[in-house]
Structure 1
Amino acid sequence: MANKKELNVEEKLRAIYSLQLIDSKIDEIRNVRGELPLEVEDLEDEVTGLSKRLDKLNEDLENIDNLIKEKKNNIEDHKASIKKYTDQQKNVRNNREFNSLSKEIEFQELEIQLAEKHIKEMKASLEGKKAIVTETKERLASKENHLKHKKAELSDIMSETEKEENFLLSKSEEFRGKIEARLLEAYDRIRTNVRNGLAVVSIERGASAGSFFTIPPQTQMEIAGRKKIITDEHSGRILVDSALADEERQKMEQLFSKM
């Protein structure tokens, strides 16, 4: 903390601009990856979802198959009952007993018809689900293949950039350690709020870099004097003079060459 308090304004400006150059380099590396990590994550979620769906469909197929077997067994039981009641009719003593057994036979026949109807419906459902299973398997295989290629692509990019990024991250932390907390908070807040992540910019042709708004000559002189930290009234970015920016860029280019 003592080192942070000892920095004068110019040293603060140099440290914060160097940090910006390092963080912008990290942004470049991450932009090379683009949306690839998110694509891989989304594909992994899709593969997981399709796998779970396939498991559930296969479970449904097994349950329907078991129900069909159960209904077929019930039909055999009903047929056995019909045979039993038919045999009993041969030995009845009166019409009342005969009619009672006839009703039992009729009931069993109705149960068979109902079971056969259910079997027919379940077989149709089974065929429908089998078609969905086939389609889901094809989609899963396609997504798994796509995921495999995307992972390989990401792995290649990561192997190319990981070392550079880790080096830059360590340097970013090193420079952050030189900057007082309040200035660092402002830097992080501005970086979050601007599209290109540039919280610190230099003066170019009388305007802040990337802006068309001219900075008054008096303000430009104050910025060049490096006696206080000045922000752009239009964008809120911290401003540094072009000479300081050139000097720090040269230092950072030497640093980047070590990657």
Structure 2
Amino acid sequence: MAKKTETTVEEKLRALYDLQLIDSRIDEIRNVRGELPLEVEDLEDEVAGMNTRLEKLNTDLEVIENNIKEKKNGIEESKALIKKYTAQQDNVRNNREYNSLSKEIEFQELEIQLADKHINEFKAQIEQKKEVIEQTKEQLEERKEHLKHKQSELDDILAETEKEEKALIKESEKYEKKIEERLVKAYKRIRNSVKNGLAVVQVERGASGGSFFTIPPQVQMEIASRKKIITDEHSGRILVDPALADEEKEKMDKLFTKVS
């Protein structure tokens, strides 16, 4: 049985830097989309909220209109009772019965007045609700148009980049498998803790990429020897020498051309 060849430090560094280049390319693609997906999501929520509000306003309107119908029916009932009591007054036997019927008539007249007052209040509420409904409809149309525009923008960007992004995600997963789990975890931890997502950087002009802290010449020589994995003492990033970085960039550029 053939003995499994152990991965050299140089091979690990190359694989890590390749992974970084792939993940950085994915970051670039996602940056092109920027805040658009969130904007679209917010607009969708806003449109959904406005539709719910319109439904509630229309339900409120129905309730108020039903209240008016009830009050109108109540008025008709009161009028019928007034007619009945007035007719009964013609056949009373004494003043007590007459006064009792007069009180009933007076009560029904007050009921009619109160119902009319409520109907007028309900009508005012209807006008107010209708005004709010019209305003909400106008706002809804405006937000829908804005959403349509933003969704179209997002669809265009996705059409251009989705295929490449999916292909690169697969490549990223493939390259991860080439690296031992311990290093992948360290890489991801560093990547998540830095602003630009760069966990593996090359030495540039005697400093860690994107940093102003100079790396001592002795350490630069160790990095160039590719005998051990060295991290920047200030940022914690994994460091690679410029020659290795250039070679891997050239290799990855060919991959990016292929998947784009």
Q: TM-score range by the shorter chain?
A: over 0.9
CA contact (8 A) 1:4 1:178 kept: no
Is the aligned partner of 1:243 residue 2:243?
A: yes
- Match of residue 73 from structure 1: 73
Give the CA deviation at 1:4: 10
Is the aligned partner of 1:119 residue 2:115?
A: no
- Match of residue 59 from structure 1: 59
Give the CA deviation at 1:135: 0.6
Quick one: distance in 2 between partners of 1:6 and 1:78? 100
- Match of residue 28 from structure 1: 28
Quick one: distance in 1 between partners of 2:52 and 2:7? 58
3-state SS of 1:202 partner: strand
CA contact (8 A) 1:224 1:240 kept: yes
Is the aligned partner of 1:201 residue 2:201?
A: yes
3-state SS of 2:215 partner: coil
Give the CA deviation at 1:5: 8.2
**What TM-score comes out, normalization by structure 1 length?**
0.96
Is the aligned partner of 1:164 residue 2:164?
A: yes
- Match of residue 258 from structure 2: 258
Quick one: distance in 1 between partners of 2:4 and 2:182? 11
> What are the Cα deviations for residues 64-106 of structure 1, in whole angstroms up to 9, with x where unaligned?
1111011011001001111111111111111100111111111
Is the aligned partner of 1:98 residue 2:98?
A: yes
Distance 1:5 1:16, change over 3 A: farther
Give the CA deviation at 1:254: 1.4
CA contact (8 A) 1:50 1:136 kept: yes
- Match of residue 47 from structure 1: 47
3-state SS of 2:213 partner: coil
3-state SS of 2:258 partner: coil
Q: Which runs of 5+ in 2 are unaligned?
A: none
1:78 counterpart letter in structure 2: S
- Match of residue 231 from structure 1: 231
Moved more, 11-20 or 146-155: 146-155
CA contact (8 A) 1:223 1:239 kept: yes
Give the CA deviation at 1:227: 1.3
**What TM-score comes out, normalization by structure 2 length?**
0.96
Distance 1:4 1:159, change over 3 A: farther
1:28 counterpart letter in structure 2: E
3-state SS of 2:91 partner: coil
Q: Which runs of 5+ in 1 are unaligned?
A: none
Quick one: distance in 2 between partners of 1:68 and 1:44? 36
Quick one: distance in 1 between partners of 2:6 and 2:26? 28
Give the CA deviation at 1:34: 0.7
- Match of residue 144 from structure 1: 144
Q: Which runs of 4+ in 1 moved over 2 A?
A: 3-6
Give the CA deviation at 1:6: 2.4
Distance 1:4 1:227, change over 3 A: farther
3-state SS of 1:201 partner: strand
Identical-pair percentage: 72
